[in-house]
Amino acid sequence: EHLGLPNADDVRQGVIAYKIAAHAADVARQRPGARDRDDALSYARFLFDWNKQFELSLDPETARAMHDETLPDDFYKEAKFCSMCGPKFCSMNVTQVTEGSLGLDQKEREQKFVELLAKIEK
């Protein structure tokens, strides 16, 4: 503080920190709709919709950069795993495969995702 004027990146980081803090406060206060974005992001993660995850992030630019740092090729925007667990140990992938082998349908989850996105985009 007071070491010098902030540059554009300093301001950007401050705005992101503000957005995260404000969002956390809204969730903690249980404000209506506060968790919709988080829930939609979770569904996007479960469905491996990487581009929607980036879009729903409070800082899409950083989210995409962090993903691309470890999985840079466009192929990985369609991958059914992340760089943390890899394809063999991804809990979401294992869940989808298990539910598929049991004959359970993913359409209900996908419909919830669509409904959440509609709420957010209003």
State which H helix or E strand residue 46 sits in.
Answer: helix 36-46
Q: Where are the domains of the chain?
A: 32-120
Quick: pLDDT tens for 61-109: 999 999 888 887 877 777 888 878 887 888 888 888 888 888 877 787 7
| Residue 122 in this model has a pLDDT that exceeds 70 | no
Quick: pLDDT tens for 22-34: 999 999 999 999 9
| Residue 58 in this model has a pLDDT that exceeds 90 | yes
Whole-number mean pLDDT of the chain? 88
- Give the CA angle between residues 10, 16, 18 to the nearest 5°: 105
8/29 Cα distance (integer angstroms)? 32
